[in-house]
Amino acid sequence: MEKKWPIGVFASIDAGLGVRLEVAHELGVRTIHLHTPHAASRTPGQAKEFLARLADLGITTTVVFAGFEGESYADIPTVKRTVGLIPPATRAARTSELKAIADFALLLHVGVVGVHLGFVPHDTSDPDYQQLIAITRDVCDHCERNHQALHLETGQEPVDVLIQFLDDVGRDNLFVNFDPANMILYGAGQPLPALAQLGWRVHSVHCKDAIWSDRPGETWGQEVPLGEGDVDFAAFLQTLDQIGYSGPLTIEREIPQEPARQKAEIGRAIDLLERLKKQCQQVRRAEADVVEKQERKRGEISS
């Protein structure tokens, strides 16, 4: 697999919004974030079968993404009410399930679990905030015993709130899955400065695009095909370069109800990212040439 920035896609086996494994393969993609299969499929036997299928297709899973029964991304208030570990009624059950998902990821030999925690309270004195810290520590410690990391999906929080939360949890295996489109969809702030600010904390990314809502934070922005939205992907790659991120560029396009369109749009997204990768490398090489020339000149002058 390509060392720097291999292209990936968000994929599913039997649950979730990603493309099917066969589609990933047809698109020539070798690395995926896998939406966790249904609870009934999370058995050692199924894990063996999935691993064999992935091996056949030449695909490596870099992150297993958690998902829970009853989550809905219909609109921002519904996300607040239903997504992640925030809703009180399902908090304990979902925390146990998240650990079970981590154990299933281990059976798939995957060292990273991704999750949308849901809306983290912005007020650090909120009892829910304190409880969420305790839960996240507990999940991180479970992952640590599995030699796994936990990646929090960005979007719901402004970057300062997220960094404060990560610092308050204070675990060495807690990182960020950065999704620039989510920042726009939720109206949580400009994605690229947030990416730069998160820096070393970013250990995986989703390449997804979106358009700002006219009432950011109140109503959804709109997810659109990569390259057609408000995320500047050339600048996104430059920023990834600056923060030293070299992992997969995992394309996410959440229209599983239209598989043909999903495949075509992901195909175009791959072409665009490959082109931008080349541009970014050319800029890098040109910069390196300038530095080399300057150093040579300096050497000539001093000698």
Contact footprint for Mg ion (CB under 5 A): 179, 206, 252
How far, in Å, are 162, 182, 226, 237 from residue 194 at the CA level? 10, 12, 19, 14
CB-wise, 209 or 252, nearer to Mg ion?
A: 252
Residues 6+ apart with CB under 8 A from 105: 36, 64, 111, 112, 113, 146, 148
Q: What single DSSP character describes residue 218?
A: T
CB-wise, 179 or 265, nearer to Mg ion?
A: 179
Least distance in Å: CB of 125 to Mg ion? 29
Cα–Cα distance between 210 and 203 in angstroms, integer?
22
Look up residue 191 and give its amino acid. P
Cα–Cα distance between 263 and 256 in angstroms, integer?
9
Cα–Cα distance between 193 and 160 in angstroms, integer?
11
Least distance in Å: CB of 35 to Mg ion? 10
Least distance in Å: CB of 11 to Mg ion? 13
Structure tokens, 205: 């990314």
Cα three-residue angle 187-191-193, rounded to 5 degrees:
125
CB-wise, 97 or 179, nearer to Mg ion?
A: 179
Question: Which secondary structure element, helix H or strand E, spans residue 179, and what is its range?
Answer: none
CB-wise, 73 or 129, nearer to Mg ion?
A: 73
Least distance in Å: CB of 132 to Mg ion? 20
CB-wise, 18 or 37, nearer to Mg ion?
A: 18
Least distance in Å: CB of 52 to Mg ion? 27
C-alpha distance across the termini of the chain, in Å: 44
CB-wise, 6 or 114, nearer to Mg ion?
A: 114
Q: What single DSSP character describes residue 75?
A: S
Length of the chain, in residues: 303
Least distance in Å: CB of 207 to Mg ion? 9
